Structure 1
C-alpha cells in the first residue's frame, strides 16, 4: 500500500509516525545500562556507582536517572535499597522470573496437565539429541551426577518425585540451547508438583521400592549411555518413547486437571 492509499484509508497518522512515541531519556539510559548487564559489563551482585557519578556519566538529571532505575527494577535487573548508602545492586534474574508469570498465564488460560506434558514431550527429545551431539564430557558428567542424586532418593517417594523433575530439567539445561532450557524451566514447578501429587495419591508400601521408580532409573541410565556415545538419533527416539510411557502412567485420569488445581 502506498502512502496516499494509507492516508485515504484513515491511517495517515500512523504512516507519518504521529502515534509512535519517542523513548524518554530515562528509558534510553535504562536501555544502555541493560545492555551493559547483558554483555557482562555489570555482573550479578555488583553495586552501581553512586547517583552523582551516574548522572555525570550519562549527562542526565537525578529524576531521569531514577526513572531509569524504576524501569530496570521492574524488569528484575536491579534491586533498589532505599535508605541505604549502597544504592542499587545488579540482580540477574533466573528462569524463575519467567516461570512465575508463565504459570499464572497457564492458570488464567485454564491450561490442563495434558497441555504441559505435551509441551515437555516436544522439548526434551530435542534436548537429548543436542546433548548427544555436543561431545561435551563435562555436560555428560553433570547429567550423570543428576542420575546419581536421583538414585539416592529411591527410598523416599516424594524426594524421588522431585528428583525426577530435576533430572528432566537438567537434561534440557545441559543441551546448550538456552531457549529450550527456558521453556523447561517454565513448566518445571508444574511437573514437580504433579509428580508429588501422583505419589501421594498412590503411596508405596513402607520399605518397598516401587517398580516404576526402578524402570525410571533404568531409562535415565540408558539415556546417559546414549548421549555419552553420541548416538543422537537413538537418544531422541528413546527419550520420546520413554516420555510417552511415563506420561501415560503419571497422567492416568488426570489429563484434564487444570494447572490451577496443581499450583493452588
Structure 2
C-alpha cells in the first residue's frame, strides 16, 4: 500500500545532520510517482483520462485530498491537463521537447551563456548522432532524412525559409539517430540555433551559401546510407566548424538572452 511506502526508511542509526536533511516523501508525492510511472510505461497514454476518482481512491487507499494533491503535482509537471469544473477528470498530456526547451533556455540566459557555448554543445552532439545514424542501417530513417533534404531544396531563394529548414534538418538528423538523450539535448538547443541561424543568413548576404549547405547535406546522407559511421562523424564535425565560423562571425560572445528576448 502507498501508506506503507510513506514510512521512514532510516530505522538504523544515522548521522544527526544526515537525518535532519532526509524527508520522507508525502503520500501524495508517492501516488504521483506511481501515476507518473504508469504514464512512462505506457499504461496511460497521451489523451487518456485518468481512472475515475473513486477507482483511484480504492486502488491507492488514500484520502480524496491526498489524491487531488497527487494530480496537482502531475498537472504542475505538464503530464496531465485538468479542466476546472469538468466531469471527465484529468487527461494525460505527454509533453514534447518544448517542455524542457524553454526552462533550459532560461537557465542559459541566467547563467550568461554565449552563442559560442551553444554552438560548441551542438558540435558535441551532432557528429556523434551522424555516426550513430550511419550505423543503424535503417533505410526508413535514411529516407526520412532524405525527405527533410528535399523539403530544404524547396526553400532555395528564401533566406528566412532556408534558415528554418536548415535548423530543422540538423535537429531531424539527431532525432533519427535513435539516441533519445541526444535528441532531447538537440531539441533544447533548437530554438536558439534557429533564431541565430535566421539572423546570420539574413545579414550575411553571401551568395551560394545555401547551395553549399545543400551539398553538405547530400554528402552526409551518402555517407550514412553507406554505413560509414566514422566518416560521417568526421565530415559533419568539419562541416559544423566551417558553418559555425560563418554564423558566429562577430557574434560568438553574444549572450543567449540577447537572441531569445
Please tell me the TM-score bracket, short chain as reference. over 0.9
Q: What TM-score, normalized to structure 1?
A: 0.91
1-side partners of 2:224 and 2:250: how far apart? 33
The residue that corresponds to 1:163 in the other structure is 165
1:223 aligns with 2:226: no
1-side partners of 2:182 and 2:198: how far apart? 24
2-side partners of 1:75 and 1:138: how far apart? 34
RMSD (Å) for aligned C-alpha atoms: 1.4
The alignment of Structure 1 onto Structure 2 pairs a total of residues equal to 249
**Contact map agreement 1:14 1:20 (CA 8 A) in 2:** no
The residue that corresponds to 2:202 in the other structure is 200
The residue that corresponds to 2:49 in the other structure is 47
Q: In 2 relative to 1, CA 19–111 (structure 1 residues): closer, same or farther, beyond 3 Å?
A: closer
1-side partners of 2:15 and 2:171: how far apart? 50
Deviations 1:129-185 (A, max 9, x none): 000000011111111111011011112110100100000000111110011111100
1:257 aligns with 2:254: yes
Q: What TM-score, normalized to structure 2?
A: 0.92
Q: Secondary structure at the match of 1:47?
A: coil
Deviates more, 1:52-61 or 1:244-253: 52-61
Deviates more, 1:20-29 or 1:125-134: 20-29
Tell me the CA shift for residue 26 of structure 1. 0.6
1-side partners of 2:61 and 2:196: how far apart? 52
1-side partners of 2:205 and 2:65: how far apart? 59
| Runs (5+) with no aligned partner, structure 1 | 1-6, 205-209
Pick aligned residue for 1:26 from 4, 28, 41: 28
Pick aligned residue for 1:142 from 128, 141, 144: 144
| Runs (5+) with no aligned partner, structure 2 | 1-12
The residue that corresponds to 2:110 in the other structure is 108
Q: Secondary structure at the match of 1:155?
A: coil
The residue that corresponds to 1:242 in the other structure is 239
1:191 aligns with 2:188: no
Tell me the CA shift for residue 71 of structure 1. 1.1
The residue that corresponds to 2:6 in the other structure is none
Tell me the CA shift for residue 23 of structure 1. 1.0
Q: Secondary structure at the match of 1:257?
A: coil
